[in-house]
Every structure is written in C-alpha cells, then in structure tokens.
Structure 1
Amino acid sequence: MLEYKVSARRIDSHGSEAFAKDARIVLDTDMAGRPDAFNPAEMLLASLAACILKGAERVIPMLAFDLRGIEVKLHGLRQDSPPKMVRIAYEIVVDTAESDARLDLLHRNLQKYGTIYNTLADATELVGSIRRKG
C-alpha cells in the first residue's frame, strides 16, 4: 500500500496553504473567492487532471505510444444541497498521429490505472472522451 501525507493551514480569512513533500499550494478558502488560487472544487478537478496526465506518462512508454502533447479539459457540476459534485466531464486532447484504435487503447489504460480516476468514478458520474488534436 502506498501512503500520502498532506498538511494544510489557514493563513487568514482570505486563504490557506497546503504542503506535501517540498511543495506548497495556495488554497482559495476565502468566502468571497479569490482569482489567484484554486478553490476546493477546482483542486478536485485539478487532481483528476494530474492523475490522467501522470497516467499518460506511465503508460505511454509501455504502449510505445507516439505522443507530441496532451491536455485535459474538465467541467464539474456541483449541487447545493447536500453540497457535492454530481458530475465530472473531461476531454483529453492528444497531439499524435496514432490510429483511433490506439487512441482508444490509451484512454482505456488511463481509466483503468488512475487512482484518482477510479476513486471519483465510484463517487460521482464521471464521463469523458479522448480525441486527436486538430
């Protein structure tokens, strides 16, 4: 089993910060919001994006997949009562000359082996697609 450790603290009424290893992230915990930091819902979406991108780094060499670039676009839908994410949609855009079948293979691998992906898929509606850039 792998373990992860993160700590967080309130800076003031406008923000907080989280730490892991030697990294620090400013968090938007201001009730009015702030444009220079991720709020908790955005952090969740960013975590999914990071999971997909890290998964790509893992499976691309195993698949001998020709990749020039990859990006992930996400959209979360939150209900108010009780507050929770009810749907997350994503689009993976890949800059590649690989076939559609190989693009689908990459997508299946990203879905199957993603820790955050699988956690969220069990908790909310998670839908997404993969397409070639261009």
Structure 2
Amino acid sequence: MAEPPTTYQVRAQCRPGGVAHVQAGDQTVPIDTAWGVEPSGAPGPAELLAAAFASCLMKNIERTSTLIGFTYTSADVRVQARRQDSPPQFVEVEYDVRIVTDEPERRVDLLHRNLRQFGTVYNTLAAVCDVHGTVAAATAEA
C-alpha cells in the first residue's frame, strides 16, 4: 500500500505596492510582489522557485552523504532559471554544484545520479521544463 503524500504548508500575505512576506517553517521571508516599479531587493517568485531548486539539491547532497557515506566539506550551488513570456512559463533550469570532497570521481557521479533521481523539486521541474547541470568535485584549499 502506498503511503499518503507528505503535505507542506506556507502562508503568504501582501499589501498594495508589493509589500509581502511568506511564512515557511518558523521563518518569515520578505518577497517582492510589486509590479511595474523598481525591484525591492527581496526575492520574487522566480528567485524563490530557483531557491527551492537549490535547496532541493543541497538537501539531497546531505541525504546522499548520510545514505552512502559520501564525505564532503562544503558545497556551492548555483542555479539559473530561464522563463519565457508567452506563454509565461519556465523553460530551463540549469545548475552547477561545486562540492569540496576527496571522494573519487565515480562517487561524485553517484552523488549526481542521486540528486537527479531523488529530488522532489528537481523531478517536478524536470517534468515540465529542461533541467540540466553539473556536479564537480573540488579540493579544499590549504
């Protein structure tokens, strides 16, 4: 028997002029919902989606490190999401992961396969747009 889906909830509020925030977990994050004015500096919906994707990658790095004993010192994740105007939708998500590790290349490749296979946000976006990227190992600088 399949387990029921996990449910996540956030709460968002806005006022005229684009003043808004979203509550997720025990954090409140300001968001930019203004239209036709200079950006406020707070993330907008597109940046939040890219941030969710980056968070998914990092959570799965941690998951994989626990499950297969993959050791790393740090990871730097960069995500670029590309959208089109008509129809309005994301068409591409590209990522670059630099992970500081002494693991051999075959284990880095295994980590990357795990990121692609077990990421909920990754798989959701990959179902509707082109998702691709790289995972590369770097050595710690002395």
Fold match (TM-score > 0.5): yes
Among the aligned pairs, what percent are the same residue? 34
Aligned length: 134
Q: Would you identify which runs of 4 or more consecutive aligned residues in structure 1 move more than 6 Å?
A: none
What's the CA shift string for 1:77-133, capped at 9, x where partnerless?
A: 111111111111101110011111000000111111111001001011101111112
Shift, 1:35, TM fit:
4.5
Give the counterpart letter for 2:92 in structure 1: R
Map of 1:51 onto structure 2: 56
Gaps of 5+ in 1: none
Shift, 1:30, TM fit:
1.3
8 A Cα contact 1:16 1:26, kept in partner: yes
Map of 2:30 onto structure 1: 26
Call closer, same or farther: CA 1:117–1:33 in 2, change over 3 Å. Answer: farther
Give the counterpart letter for 1:126 in structure 2: V
DSSP 3-state at the match of 2:65: helix
| Mapped pair 1:76 → 2:81 | yes
DSSP 3-state at the match of 1:123: coil
Map of 2:136 onto structure 1: 131
Gaps of 5+ in 2: none
Greater Rg by CA: 2
Map of 2:45 onto structure 1: 40
Superposition TM-score, scaled by structure 1 size: 0.94
RMSD of aligned residue pairs (Cα, Å): 1.3
CA distance in 2, matches of 1:3, 1:50: 17
Superposition TM-score, scaled by structure 2 size: 0.89
